[in-house]
Structures are given as structure tokens and as C-alpha cells.
Structure 1
Amino acid sequence: MGRAPNLHSSVYLGSDGWWHGRVWVGYRDDGRPDRRHVRARSKAEVRKKVRRLERDRDRGTISKAGRAPTVREWMTVYLDDIAARELAPKTHYDYWSKTRTWILPHLGGVRLDRLQPEQLDRLYTRMIDVGKAPSHALKVHRILSRALEVALRRGKVSRNVARLVDAPSARPPAMKAFTEDEARRILRASRGRRNAARWSVGLALGLRQGEVLGLRWSYLDLGQRTVKVFWQLQRTAWRHGCEDPHACGARLHKTRPCPSGCAVHAEAKRGCPPVCPKGCTRHASRCPQRRNGGLLFREPKGKSRRTVPLPPELVEVLQAHRSWQERERVTASNLWEDHDLVFAQPNGRPIDPRDDWEEWKTLLKMAGVGDARVHDGRHTAGTLLLEQGVDIRVVQEILGHSDLRVTQGYTHVGSVLAQDAAARIGRALFGGAQ
């Protein structure tokens, strides 16, 4: 029997006793026609399969010819060749970390076109069962969903199964904001210490840690009382520059878990490191040809790139800080590295975020205000702005939030504004009787 012309399907009884069907669905990468083959014991069953292929072809959901990649193969292509161009280095590292820890061990061997929603459900349930926060499972879901969406657009699969799964629900993270009195105590504790103005800037403007540490004098206009938040400093994980990352880190691979009561890592903040996965390509920080890591300056995205007004009092603080830094520059002499940084080490080099974190913890103890993250200083600024009656959209602009709902998270039932609102409604309803 001759082959049916393009766009025409054929159904015939073969010499093997089976009914066969062939459907034209497009062209292969080399330009040849792509005709798919199906077979069944009955003519009616073959026609049903043919109609299904024709329907998928007409909808544009037919998968490309050839074996579909496994989840492991596609996630590697997606993260290394596609997402790496768009994601910030720190975000890209986080995507790979979660992929190696969860997606590859549980789904890596599954063919992409055979991935089922139930397999994703089991993965998320397993994560919750071992104590991972729902927000962690949600991040894994979003990484996988994005990778599958790109695979769908490129014809690797005919559907994104992550769309068929209810994403893990996660409550917004709890925010800690210091009161006005506590914030003043922190600033008093910082007086006389190196870069004390750093904490005045952080608490007054609500800048992120990387934004403060990446602040440059050329973007500060003390006369106009503005600062352009155009750079941020981030610590980025190193990447291998060698040809064989697995062999490069061979001497550092951990092949068995630590014994119970391990004394080697007893003082480590994160406890004992996990066992290296098969084919481990980590330990890039020890690679002789390591690249794209360490402390790096990068531009913030979206509304994070903004111009923020300076309070008059903060201008005076920064003027005094500039004079102090000039004296330090003279003392360092030819050892000074000029990066135009507002806050720097005694030699002008950038401040490591980890050292900045240690300084913050020291200040909190000195001020006696309880423990908090560095990022909670940003929450404090947002909350104090709202408590002073500043419009929420203005607060959104100052903090650089892309979504107003994020800014709304800074409003609390027990805030000064809420208490004032309660007092006002009380006066309106009951004031005449008093």
C-alpha cells in the first residue's frame, strides 16, 4: 500500500495480522516529514488512536520526534543553558541546590513525557513529612513548573503536568519589626563603631543588605537629599572552570554520613554536611580554575532599581561618615582599593555580608532588643513608615516592592495605625455619650 499524502492519515491491515495507522504531524529537525505510527488488533481501535494523534497535531500539542529526555537531562539543559541567562547568580545557585536535593533524586530517571501529576504530589508530601516547610515545597514546585513550561513551548512534552497539581500552600513568612524605641536603642548601640552610619541607612531607608553594602558615593546626592539604589553586593557561589567537575572535587566528596554524635562538625552552624550525590559536581570553591563567584556587584531588577529620598538627619550622618572615611583612606595610603563604596573595609574593599551579619548580631545584644535577622531591619523601616501615616504606595516605592501586596504585609493588627483606627471608630460611635 502506498504512503498517504501529507496531512492525510492511512489505516491498513498489515501482513502481521495487526491494523496499522500512520499520521503526518509535521517535519523533523532535518526537514523530513514526521509520520507517526500506531497499531492495534482492531480497525476501530487504530482509528481511535489515529484521531487522537490528529487532534494533538491540530492543537499543536504533539511531542517532537525521538525519545523525550528524562527529568534529569531536561533539568540540566534548562538550568545550565536556559535559566542561567535570565536568573541572578544567587537565584540560579538556589535553583540548582533544590533540584539536586529533591527533583533529581526522586524524579530524575522519569522520562519527561511520562511524568505524572501523582509523582509530583508524592514528592511534595514526602518533603512535608521529613519536616520541610510548605514554602520550601512551593519553591521546588515553581522551579519544576517553570522548567516544564519551557519544555512544553519547545515541543518536548504535550502538557505541563505541574499545572494539574495543586501547588503546596505556604503561609507568608513571619515578619519581625522593632518598635521605634527598639530601633533607637540599636542606633545608640552602633555609635562609635566602624560604619555606624550603615545601620542608620538600613533602618531609615529600608534598604536590603546587598543594597546597603553596594551603595556608592557617586549615587548619593547629599545636596538634593537623594540616593540612587542602582547596585547591590552579593556573595555568589563559585562555578567550576575545569572540564571535569566531578574529578576536580574527588578528594572532597563525602561518601558516607557522619557517625552519631559527630565531634568534627559539632560547632558548625549547619550541622554535618550531607553525603555527596552520585556524580557530584560540587566543591567548585576549591577548583583551581573557579569562576563567577565570590563577592560580586550586580544591578537590581525591576522596581528594586529606584531613587530614594534622604531624611535631613540622615544627610548629616552621612556627611560625618564621609569625613571619617576620608581619614581612613589617608591612613591606608597605597593599600586603599577605591570601589567608591559608602561602606567599606579599612582598605576600601567591600564588606562581606557574613561580617555585616555578625556586626548586626553584636548590636542587637548590646541594645538588648532580642534576636532578629538583618532583613528585619528592612521590615522595621516599612512598619515605622506606615505608623507615621505615610501612604502605602509611597512606602512601596521607597522599599522597591514590585507588588503592593508585599507592602501590605507590613501592616499589623497591633500596629499604631490599627490602634488609632480603633480609637477613631470608638469616638465616632460612642464619643457623644462620654
Structure 2
Amino acid sequence: MEDGKPITTGKGVTLAAYLDQWINKTLKQRVAAGKIRESTRLSYADNIRLHIVPHIGDEPLTKLTPAKLRDWISELQQKPSSRQKRTVDGTDAPLELLSDRTVNYCHAILKTALNAARKEELVSRNVAELVEPPSGKSKRGTFLTQDEAHRLFTAAMSDTWRVLWLTILGLGLRRGEALSLRWEDVDLENGVVNVGPSLQRLRGEVDESTGRRRGRLAVVDGKTEGSTTMVAIPKTLLAELRDYRKTQETQRKKAKVWADAGWVFTTRYGTPIEPRNANRAWAALCDRVGIERRNGLRVRIHDLRHTAATWLHGQGVDMKAIQGTLRHTQLSTTSEVYTHLTVEVQTKAAESMDGALALLSKPRPEQRPVSKRRYQWPAKAASTRQDQPA
């Protein structure tokens, strides 16, 4: 009061109670105002329910300290992940802990919530700003070599999913972006496609009586404004899409039920493809061909996007152009996360450096000049002026 600061009114309110109000009232209003997406709100709610409330939810809002938050972060870093991975042969992989990215995300959620509490004068400071979380950098994915890709697409020659895999690879798309494509977005005459929106399964609210969540498929806008753009289609992929459309038309005419003729990639009933079913089909293909990594983990559909960036880089395409193809906001994401150095690229770099070093190296004995004199002074040029001796 002596400092003229507002008196906080959050005394006696637990962090869990405040976060419940923040998720179900404050953020719902922001969703209605178009400030954030409903999927973002639900993601916040899930992480609060799983990783914040069970650890520090009983703490009074006004008594949170940096020391308590540091202990909370340490607990999260030792917490097993709910998504334990399995190797290709079905055995359990080593125990997976929560990733640094998840811990960083939980810290960011709490910091955002406490910022709102400070604006409402429930707390006098945001203690989350005084605690540093893990870096939370994205893990580098993997990519397919030319040989692996040849084996995969040869095995998928008669596979109904083949054109989907080619589209993701040829255009560098995300899974949801490819699944959301409609024929009105694809200009087969001019060889361009409008990409950006994404087909996703949105998670609904948890039913308290059953504990289950009911979701729904929906096409959502791209991650950023730059996500939506026109992309040129490679000629090989363009020919595949033309043949695929003819085949789909034949299937549609023979089908007893076809829900919607607009989707590019559909089920046999003309409905959009469930994203998880695409994951299962890709995993089955990789298992059939025997594509895996040293740690026994699978190659993901999203790694086709990594493959696209790596192959373009190997062909000498400028990094800025690759960024535009993948529609990344930051060039560092393209170069540090999605572009992988192949042996071919490293060999080209070594050859280029060899050319530069050759100019600096000492001449070998067989390359020394034959002349006995090591250096000859150039002859003096005659003066053009008549009044000076030559």
C-alpha cells in the first residue's frame, strides 16, 4: 500500500482453482473472439490436467515461489511419458521420459496463465518469468535415402496410398495438409496446387461420466499466414495425380455410396481419411519393406517432409527457396531441423574446399618452374614523354 501498488485479491485461491477458471472462462472468451483456436485451449487444458495440477495445483496462487516452480520442473523432467514407443519387432523401447519440449510447453502455459492473473491483480508478480525451463528445441527427424525411397515406393506400386505418399514427398507437405486437399485446390492444367489448411481430429471435452473424449474431423487454417500459398507440382507427380483422378472417378461411379466428390484422398466411401489410419498404413509399409533406424524406431510420415528438404538441399537448391517450399516462418527451422547433411552433400563440400585449398598449397617438385632464376624483374617500359631519357 505504501508503494502504491494494487492489492492482490488472489489470497486463498489455489492454483488449480484459478487455472480451471482460466481455461473454462477466460480462454473460452478468447476463442469466441478469434484470438486463439479451440484446439489450443484444449491442448492447454490437457497439459494442465496432466502435468501442472497433480504437482502444484494445491499451492495457493499468491504463495508460488521460484523455488517451488524449479522443483516442479525437475519433477517433470523425471516423469515417464504416457506415450511409450515400441520398436518394429513389437518389444518395448527404453523408458521414455517427458521431452524437454513438453516441459518447456507446460512452463509456457503456466507463464501465460500467471500473466493473466497479474493483469487481473490476483498476483503481484509472475514467478514463472523468474524460472528458466529447458530449451525445448524440436528433435531432429530423419530422412529417407534414395535407396530406401526406391524400395518403399516399389513395394507400394499397387498400394492405394501410394499417391498420398508421393504428394507429401513431392510437395513437402505436412500429413494434415495433404489429407485436406480438395480437387478444387489442384490445378492439373497449370500444374499448381493451393496448400495450407490441414485436416485434423479435434479433441473434444472429456466426458466426466465415462472419462472418454469425443473428437471430430475438421479442416483448420494453416499454422501461420505464410502456410497458405500456391505450390508448383513436379511433372512426375502431376502425371501421377492425373492418373489417380481418373482411377478415383471410376471407383466413385462403381461405388454404391460416395459421400463427397471433392476430396483428393478418400476412403472407399468418399469420406476424408482419418489421420491415424494414414499413420497405420505408412507404418505397415515400412514394416513390410524393413525400413527402420538404429534405435529400432519407425520412420514417420512427417519424415517425408524432412526427406523433401534434404533432397532439395542435395540438389543445390538455395536454403531460402527450401524455406519457401516448406513454408517455414524462420530460416533456422529449415536449416537446423529439416535439412540433413547427406554423404553426397558432404562430399561436394569437401570437393569445393579441395579446389580452394589447391590454390594455396605449395607447388610440388614436379610442378616447380624450369627456369634457373626464381624470379625475373619485368622490363621497364619506355617513357612516352620526349623530354625524359628512356
Match of 2:61 in 1: 112
TM-score computed with the length of structure 2 as normaliser: 0.79
Match of 1:126 in 2: 75
| 1:251-270 equivalent positions in 2, closer than 5 A | none
Aligned partner of 1:379 among 306, 310, 323: 306
Q: Tell me the secondary structure at the aligned position of residue 138 of structure 1.
A: helix
Q: CA deviation at 1:189?
A: 1.9
Deviates more, 1:62-71 or 1:135-144: 62-71
Which residue identity lines up with residue 101 of structure 1 in the other structure? L
Q: In 2, are the aligned partners of 1:195 and 1:321 still within 8 Å (CA)? A: no
Q: Distance in 2 between matches of 1:66 and 1:181?
A: 62
Aligned partner of 2:316 among 378, 389, 393: 389
Q: In 2, are the aligned partners of 1:210 and 1:232 still within 8 Å (CA)? A: yes
Aligned partner of 1:159 among 118, 122, 125: 125
CA distances 1:126-182 after superposition (whole Å, capped 9, x unpaired): 122333332221111111111112222332222111110011234531311111222
Q: Distance in 2 between matches of 1:66 and 1:420?
A: 63
Q: May I ask how many residue pairs the two structures share in their alignment?
A: 333
**Are positions 1:147 and 2:75 aligned together?**
no
Deviates more, 1:147-156 or 1:339-348: 147-156
* 1:69–1:385 distance in 2 versus 1, CA, 3 Å: farther
CA distances 1:313-370 after superposition (whole Å, capped 9, x unpaired): 111000001001001110114x111151100001100111121111101221333332
**Are positions 1:74 and 2:18 aligned together?**
yes
Percent pairwise identity: 31
Q: Distance in 2 between matches of 1:63 and 1:180?
A: 65
Match of 2:146 in 1: 180
**Are positions 1:168 and 2:168 aligned together?**
no
Which residue identity lines up with residue 325 of structure 1 in the other structure? Q
* 1:375–1:82 distance in 2 versus 1, CA, 3 Å: farther
TM-score computed with the length of structure 1 as normaliser: 0.72
Q: In 2, are the aligned partners of 1:215 and 1:229 still within 8 Å (CA)? A: yes
Q: In 2, are the aligned partners of 1:218 and 1:340 still within 8 Å (CA)? A: yes
Which residue identity lines up with residue 377 of structure 1 in the other structure? L
CA distances 1:250-297 after superposition (whole Å, capped 9, x unpaired): xxxxxxxxxxxxxxxxxxxxxxxxxxxxxxxx4233xxxxxxx22122
Query: What stretches of structure 2 of length at least 5 have no aligned partner?
Result: 80-96, 293-297, 365-390
Match of 1:300 in 2: 222
Match of 1:207 in 2: 173
Q: CA deviation at 1:413?
A: 4.4
Query: What stretches of structure 1 of length at least 5 have no aligned partner?
Result: 1-22, 24-49, 250-281, 286-292
Q: CA deviation at 1:415?
A: 4.8
Which residue identity lines up with residue 239 of structure 2 in the other structure? E
Deviates more, 1:175-184 or 1:346-355: 175-184
Q: In 1, are the aligned partners of 2:263 and 2:270 still within 8 Å (CA)? A: yes
Q: In 2, are the aligned partners of 1:90 and 1:235 still within 8 Å (CA)? A: no
CA distances 1:52-100 after superposition (whole Å, capped 9, x unpaired): x32xx3xxxx344464642112212222333451444444333222211
Q: In 1, are the aligned partners of 2:69 and 2:131 still within 8 Å (CA)? A: yes
**Are positions 1:231 and 2:197 aligned together?**
yes
Q: Distance in 2 between matches of 1:93 and 1:332?
A: 38
* 1:68–1:102 distance in 2 versus 1, CA, 3 Å: same
Match of 1:217 in 2: 183
Which residue identity lines up with residue 151 of structure 2 in the other structure? R
Aligned partner of 2:50 among 101, 114, 132: 101
Match of 1:427 in 2: 355
* 1:377–1:283 distance in 2 versus 1, CA, 3 Å: same
Q: Distance in 2 between matches of 1:115 and 1:402?
A: 36
Which residue identity lines up with residue 117 of structure 1 in the other structure? P
Q: Tell me the secondary structure at the aligned position of residue 284 of structure 1.
A: coil
Q: CA deviation at 1:423?
A: 1.4
Which residue identity lines up with residue 53 of structure 2 in the other structure? L
Match of 1:402 in 2: 329
Match of 2:83 in 1: none
Q: In proportion to residue count, which structure has more strand?
A: 1
Q: In 2, are the aligned partners of 1:190 and 1:199 still within 8 Å (CA)? A: no
Aligned partner of 2:213 among 262, 265, 284: 284
